[in-house]
Structures are given as structure tokens and as C-alpha cells.
Structure 1
Amino acid sequence: MSRAHKLTSTEQLLSEEASKRLGFKVTVYEEDRWICDPADENKVMGFGGTAAEAIEKCYHENVRPS
């Protein structure tokens, strides 16, 4: 089931930037919750910190070395 929450313009920009950097779809919410598991769109992860820190953490948790 998809979330009813409509992204704000800030959330939309953060989501687009994070998705571009990570190479897979990421949804960013301003209240420090990130959906960033490419295998499970409904997995919500809380990171806090700055957007850049959260993107890096998400990247390290989801990208496997090739």
C-alpha cells in the first residue's frame, strides 16, 4: 500500500537528488524518515542528521561492492 503523504517541494527535491546519487529510487521525508531499500519500497529507515549524511548512510547500507 502506498503512503498517503504527498511530498512537499523540499521532500521532492531531496528525493530526486538522493535517487540520482544512489542510482535507485529513494523517498525522503523532512521528518528524518527515509524509504531507501530498493528491494522494499515500504521499508522506512530513520537517519536524522543532514540530508547528505543520511544519503551516505543509505548508500552504504544498500549498495553492494561489485
Structure 2
Amino acid sequence: MPLQDTTHLTPAHLAKRWSVTAGHLANQRSAGIGPAYLKLGGRILYRLVDIEAYEERALVTGVSA
């Protein structure tokens, strides 16, 4: 997938999407958890395709008794 065709989110945009703080996302990156991200010239970006895959893996569809 060419980079120009990929939608990217900044930490601020992802924080708003998930109703968390940008600091929470920074803590996840520091701990090596959370979604994949790009670090380009000191700038952090998340590819939307990676965010959607991460959300899909976190989806809980039911609770066993």
C-alpha cells in the first residue's frame, strides 16, 4: 500500500477517537504495548489500518458464564 494512499492519525487524533489522553498513548508506546506506530523524524503517526486492526483484536463479543 503506497504511503500517500494511507490515512494517518496523530496521537491527538487517536486520543480523541479513543477518549484517552495523548499521554496515555505515550505511556503505551514507552511500555511497548498498544497499536503499531510510525516514528518519522521525531513525529509519531498511527496508520488507520493498524488502528482498525488493533481495535478488531480488542473486540469483545460476549462473556462466557
TM-score range, shorter chain: 0.3 to 0.5
Bigger radius of gyration among the two: 2
Q: Which has the higher contact order (CA 8 A, sep 6+)?
A: 2
| TM-score normalized with structure 1 length | 0.35
Normalised TM-score (structure 2)? 0.35
